């Protein structure tokens, strides 16, 4: 299979999981897992930045359409895609220049955990603070973003572990 087909397949699987399963999971208003961001995280590091930003917008916009959320997922996804090269250069050995793909096998677990954790935190805090858009709910929004980040990161690591083990 071509690499483009694998990315298209990953897009539809992650969006499908997000829309059908995870959008219906909400525990007392604090826990909202968002795994669709894994699609953006796993895009090749050498992909042109304009294409990555466009795909991030498309991904976030697709989730916005299904959640009726007026662009907050698109904004958070584009922000995450924008900072992704910087985060990758911080966690990879040679700044990500030698990587063809991103995953647990390429970065090893600790670096992939750091990479996905930073991006997940940035995405979730951006998403929840844009959604709240007021400072009088600062602590409440902080707790929502933090708990959602933890559960999203656990699910992302589980998916990536299964994916990397299936390629062996």
Q: Is the pTM of this model over 0.75?
A: yes
Percent of the chain with pLDDT over 90: 52
Question: Mean pLDDT across the chain, nearest whole number?
Answer: 88
pLDDT on residue 152: 92
**Domain ranges, residue 29:** 3-166
Number of domains in the chain: 1
* Whole-number Å distance between alpha carbons of 59 and 50: 14
The domain that holds 57 is classified in CATH as 1.10.1760
Q: Which of helix, strand or coil describes residue 63?
A: helix
CB burial of residue 77 (10 Å; 0-12, 13-18, 19+): buried
Tokens of residue 168, six digits: 């062996």
Which residue, among 98, 105, 99, has the nearest Cα to 168 in the 3D structure? 105
Q: Which residues of 89-122 are buried (b: 16+ CB within 10 A; e: fewer)?
A: eebbeeebeebeebbbebbeeebbbebbbbbbbb
Contacts with 152 (C-beta within 8 Å, 6 or more apart), sequence order: 33, 34, 35, 37, 120, 124
- Give pLDDT tens digits for 55-68: 999 999 999 999 88
Which residue, among 106, 121, 103, 96, has the nearest Cα to 157 in the 3D structure? 103
- Give pLDDT tens digits for 82-102: 999 999 988 877 655 567 788
């Amino acid at each position: 299979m071509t690499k483009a087909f694998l990315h298209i397949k990953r897009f539809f699987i992650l969006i499908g999981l997000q829309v059908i399963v995870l959008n219906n999971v909400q525990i007392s208003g604090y826990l909202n897992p968002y795994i669709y961001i894994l699609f953006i995280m796993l895009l090749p590091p050498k992909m042109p930045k304009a294409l990555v930003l466009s795909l991030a917008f498309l991904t976030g916009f697709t989730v916005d359409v299904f959640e009726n959320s007026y662009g907050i997922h698109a904004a958070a996804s584009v922000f995450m895609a924008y900072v992704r090269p910087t985060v990758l250069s911080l966690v990879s050995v040679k700044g990500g220049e030698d990587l063809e793909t991103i995953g647990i096998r390429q970065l090893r677990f600790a670096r992939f955990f750091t990479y996905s954790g930073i991006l997940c935190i940035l995405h979730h805090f951006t998403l929840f603070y844009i959604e709240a858009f007021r400072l009088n709910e600062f602590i409440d929004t902080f707790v929502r973003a933090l708990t959602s980040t933890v559960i999203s990161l656990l699910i992302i690591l589980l998916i990536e572990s299964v994916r990397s083990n299936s390629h062996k």
